[in-house]
Amino acid sequence: MAASWDSPVAPVFDEVNDRVGAVDHLISIDVEEKTVSLYLQTLANAPPVAPRKRSCVFVSKPGGMATRLEQLAGNVRLNAVEVDLGVGANGPVGRAGGLFELGWAVAFLCSPYAREMDGQLLRLDGGAS
């Protein structure tokens, strides 16, 4: 499968669906809003395999997703992690964490344990916000 950043998204999803089945989870790490919007539009237009709802987890810098979560809805469960490792030393914990903590946060939001969560914003900044 070949795609570039400016490729139409729908054919890529069609090819993935043909090869591996329905795509039920999307993890977006600091991807342009235009690209994320195309993915979400494609996911929203394709009904999920019942009774599951598709899920998306966005990982971005601070301020990247808070307003987007309020605007988006539909067949897709959306949650976000905003990461600011630079301000963590100033927070009550004294550090913001690192890739290990980020990995666990994203894994949790993709897991069945978070299936009732929708529209949540998790800030990984050592409690500074």
In a domain, 38, yes or no: yes
Collapse the DSSP code of 57 into the 3-class scheme (helix H, G, I; strand E, B; otherwise coil) and give the result. Answer: strand
Which CATH number is 25's domain given? 3.40.50.720
pTM of the model: 0.62
pLDDT at residue 3 is higher than 60: no
Please give the pLDDT value at position 46: 65
> Phi and psi at residue 120, in whole multiples of 5°?
-95, 145
pLDDT at residue 1 is higher than 50: no
pLDDT at residue 7 is higher than 60: no
At 30, list the tokens: 């600091």
For residue 43, the enclosing domain spans 12-124
CA–CA gap between residue 6 and residue 79 (Å, rounded): 25
In a domain, 4, yes or no: no
Report how far Cα 50 is from the mean position of its chain's Cα atoms: 21
In a domain, 2, yes or no: no
Name the domain count of the chain. 1
Please give the pLDDT value at position 42: 66
- How confident is the model over 57-113, as pLDDT tens digits? 777 777 766 666 666 656 667 777 878 777 767 777 777 677 788 888 888 887 878
In a domain, 1, yes or no: no
pLDDT at residue 4 is higher than 60: no
pLDDT at residue 22 is higher than 70: no
